[in-house]
Structure 1
Amino acid sequence: MAIRSTAAVAILGVAAQAQAVSFETGGYQTDIYGYARLNASYDIDSNQALSTRSGSYSGLVNNDDAADGHFGADAFQSRIGVKTVSPEGVKINVEGDFRGGGGGSLRLRHAYGEYNGVLMGQTWSNFTSFVGNTSTLDFDSLPGVAGYQSRTTQARYTTGPLSLSLEDPQSSFVTAPANAAQKDSLPALTARLQDSAGGLSYSAALLAHQVGYDTGSEDESAMGFATFVAAKIALSDMITVQGSLSYTDGANSYLYRSGENFGAASAYVDPASGDVETISGYGGTVGAGFNLGGGRSINVGYGIVEVDWDDAEDDGVAVAGQSESNSAVMANYQWTPVKNVMMGVEYAFLKRENVSGDDGDASRILFAAQYNF
């Protein structure tokens, strides 16, 4: 049941590859898949909608006097993909959606090949898991879910439940010296274990990368690390409980929705010494899913991330406007009236607090309708 619930999340919000148009030519098995999707949102308080009508943390501070009551709709989450398997067992997958350029432009999501456990190209980061995710209608989901939750260029090897990868690194500084260029000298190294036993599905991962800068005369760097654990358990045929815990130090790009909207800065440069100092953070989610039968379900979830800016503040770095805490609570109702069709409505409450103590919150409602093929 836990595995089926995880697959349902993937179908509705992530991959949508279970339903596909399949055909065979010359020994190549090819699937064309995707979906058309409408997202519509009503922001009860300040306007927090991004493309796909997802809720944003950007600007969610001191918003008491902001204009309220904002409606919008788009179909930018709609996607299409092609997957083919050669007679020799080589798998190739190319997929895109229309969230690029702020919405409406084709965006590359997946483009990779895989053979005998060796994958190269762009796809979900190996430092990602959907096992502990609660099914949300909001495309960007809850803060604190496990790992990067996005796609990146990589070389990966998978054997059984273990996956190892070298990936394009993701990091940023909150401040850097004048005339300095951020430098990534090494790829990010990840290791992930993901498996299931009975009604339990679980995942755990580690990541290490380098955060550095170079002014031409000064070359400084530090190592950043991240880890997460995630699990889903079926309490019965009707109820699942799931969640995740994450910790980062010098790798906040991998702490989901910890910054202005997504990853926070991973490090800062000490103004006195010029040394690279890492910034730590942590987060987590918890949720439950209730299968009501007849294609109906209810999902509730909570997520939070916290970033520790104390050392940067003590060293005189200007971080007052940085997000210290982002959180969200949500509840949705989803209905599948016929095969390949999903409709749902979701309520979410977003909250943000900055280092300065300034804070803000907002309530919003999201409607979605998705037609898979």
Structure 2
Amino acid sequence: MKLCTLIKNTALLSALVTTSLQAASLQDTQFTFGGYIKLDAIASQYSDGSLPSGNIGRDFYIPGLTPVGGEDEGTAFDMHARQTRFNFSSDTALANGKSLKATIELDFMATPNGDERVSNSYSPRLRIATIAYDGWLFGQTWSTFQDVAVLPETLDFIGATDGTIFVRQAMIRYSKGGFSGALENPETTITPFGGGGRIVSDDNSIPDLVLRYTHKQNWGHISAATLIRQLAYDDGSSLDTTENAVALSISAKLNLGRDDVRMMYNTGSGMGRYLGINAANGAVLNASGELESIDSSGGFIAYRHLWNEQWRTTLSYSWFSADNETSLTGMGVTQSTRSARVNAIYSPSKELSFGVEYSHARRDLENESQGDMDRLQFSAKYAF
């Protein structure tokens, strides 16, 4: 009997000690949860055909997907809540006086699309998963080559997409003061000799290197970044080729009282998937089976005006251009894209907003074919 009592008391004491240790641990950690719920209603009109049902380009603007060469105009209406996202973060005070931060963020923009017949179900996807400690960051987040702070406020998922660096990927980054340096996950997109598709290659032997410096002042900030990368392709048979590439990105945000101007310019070789959501590939295969990098450039400028405490408007223009060697890529590749958009957003409170946005986009191919898109979008968003 005494043995049973001793065992019970020991178990109870162990449970109390464990609970106390967990409570002490939680006292050193702060947890936060946030995100938003967003509804989008999108009406699109295309001059040269239409995008098929389920194409991601109907849910948000992708420059390289504007239809070109169709015989008739096309229209489409879509409504979804796929941009809805949530994030979870922790901040732990460590015994050595430093802090350990972790973040996980998901949304529902994964492809392929869900079934719209009955349930409109969409799978969650990983956006961000990071560990930050003593100036170091490990995990997946926005590329160091992208200045997230200058992205314009748009109802579209990205907005000024043509000239925007837009990539999330795994990396190891170190930051101190205004300087950041990162080794990031490499991936090469390639145009086959003569055109006719895209090869996605994961044959790189070294990571992409990004160096960035940002100067902040009361008037805003200016930032410059360099991307140094290896483009690689190995078909497992006779082709095994690499090419080096370098690109530059300059961005700025200028505060004009309560208003602001945001801008970005990007240029260089082999940017590929980094610019305009892969409007052009990073390289092309020549007749000898060797990679040649593709030069490209693009940028945007956006102006945001606050009419009062509840109403605001953003006007933006964005462009992209590729310097294709048409004897290698063929004439059916994208030569340039551009888009302009204007919106009006009403916020009865800081958590809730309603908006309407009009955008016009154009895509030109090397064969001089072109296609236009006009889009009207309504959104309702609750941020928490």
Question: What's the TM-score once normalised by structure 2's chain length?
Answer: 0.82
1:160 equivalent among 177, 199, 222? 177
Q: Which amino acid aligns with 2:180?
A: S
Show structure 2 runs of 5+ residues with no match: 1-24, 114-121
Size of the aligned set, in residue pairs, is 337
What CA deviation, in whole Å up to 9, does each residue of 1:167-210 have, x standing for no partner?
00132110169x99762111000011123112121111011111
Instruction: Indicate the residue corresponding to 1:137 in structure 2.
Output: 155
When residues 136 and 59 of structure 1 are mapped into structure 2, their CA distance, relative to the original with a 3 A threshold, is closer
Instruction: Indicate the residue corresponding to 2:338 in structure 1.
Output: 327
Distance in 2 between the 1:113 and 1:29 partners? 15
Instruction: Indicate the residue corresponding to 2:356 in structure 1.
Output: 345
Instruction: Indicate the residue corresponding to 2:255 in structure 1.
Output: 234
Distance in 1 between the 2:189 and 2:297 partners? 17
Instruction: Indicate the residue corresponding to 1:195 in structure 2.
Output: 215
Instruction: Indicate the residue corresponding to 1:60 in structure 2.
Output: 67
Q: CA deviation at 1:322?
A: 1.0
Distance in 2 between the 1:298 and 1:181 partners? 41
Q: Which amino acid aligns with 1:41?
A: I
When residues 286 and 162 of structure 1 are mapped into structure 2, their CA distance, relative to the original with a 3 A threshold, is same
Structure having the higher helix fraction is 2
Distance in 1 between the 2:217 and 2:286 partners? 47
What CA deviation, in whole Å up to 9, does each residue of 1:36-66 have, x standing for no partner?
1101101134645737821244152134613
Q: Which amino acid aligns with 2:90?
A: T
Q: How does 1:101-120 map to 2 (within 5 A)?
A: 101-103=111-113, 104-120=122-138
Instruction: Indicate the residue corresponding to 2:283 in structure 1.
Output: 267
Q: CA deviation at 1:298?
A: 0.8
- Paired residues of 2:229 and 2:245 also in contact (CA < 8 A): yes
What CA deviation, in whole Å up to 9, does each residue of 1:137-188 have, x standing for no partner?
11032134442x23100000010111110000132110169x9976211100
Instruction: Indicate the residue corresponding to 1:210 in structure 2.
Output: 230
Distance in 1 between the 2:210 and 2:237 partners? 30
Identity percentage of aligned residues? 26
Q: CA deviation at 1:258?
A: 5.1
- Paired residues of 2:62 and 2:276 also in contact (CA < 8 A): no
Distance in 2 between the 1:171 and 1:102 partners? 22
Instruction: Indicate the residue corresponding to 2:270 in structure 1.
Output: 250
Instruction: Indicate the residue corresponding to 1:27 in structure 2.
Output: 28
Larger Rg: 2
Instruction: Indicate the residue corresponding to 1:96 in structure 2.
Output: 106
Distance in 1 between the 2:57 and 2:356 partners? 17
Question: What's the TM-score once normalised by structure 1's chain length?
Answer: 0.85
Poorly superposed stretches of 4+, deviation over 4 Å: 46-49, 179-182, 215-218
SS at match of 1:196: strand
SS at match of 2:37: strand
Show structure 1 runs of 5+ residues with no match: 1-23
Q: CA deviation at 1:225?
A: 1.5
Distance in 1 between the 2:322 and 2:136 partners? 35
Distance in 2 between the 1:180 and 1:348 partners? 30
CA RMSD after TM alignment: 2.2
When residues 169 and 209 of structure 1 are mapped into structure 2, their CA distance, relative to the original with a 3 A threshold, is same
2:370 equivalent among 359, 362, 365? 359
Moved more, 209-218 or 191-200: 209-218
Q: Which amino acid aligns with 1:279?
A: I
Moved more, 104-113 or 94-103: 94-103
Instruction: Indicate the residue corresponding to 2:79 in structure 1.
Output: 73
2:313 equivalent among 261, 276, 298? 298
- Paired residues of 2:43 and 2:77 also in contact (CA < 8 A): yes
Distance in 1 between the 2:322 and 2:256 partners? 33
Q: CA deviation at 1:81?
A: 1.1
What CA deviation, in whole Å up to 9, does each residue of 1:238-283 have, x standing for no partner?
x322211100202222122452xxxx21111210x33321110001
Q: Which amino acid aligns with 2:273?
A: S
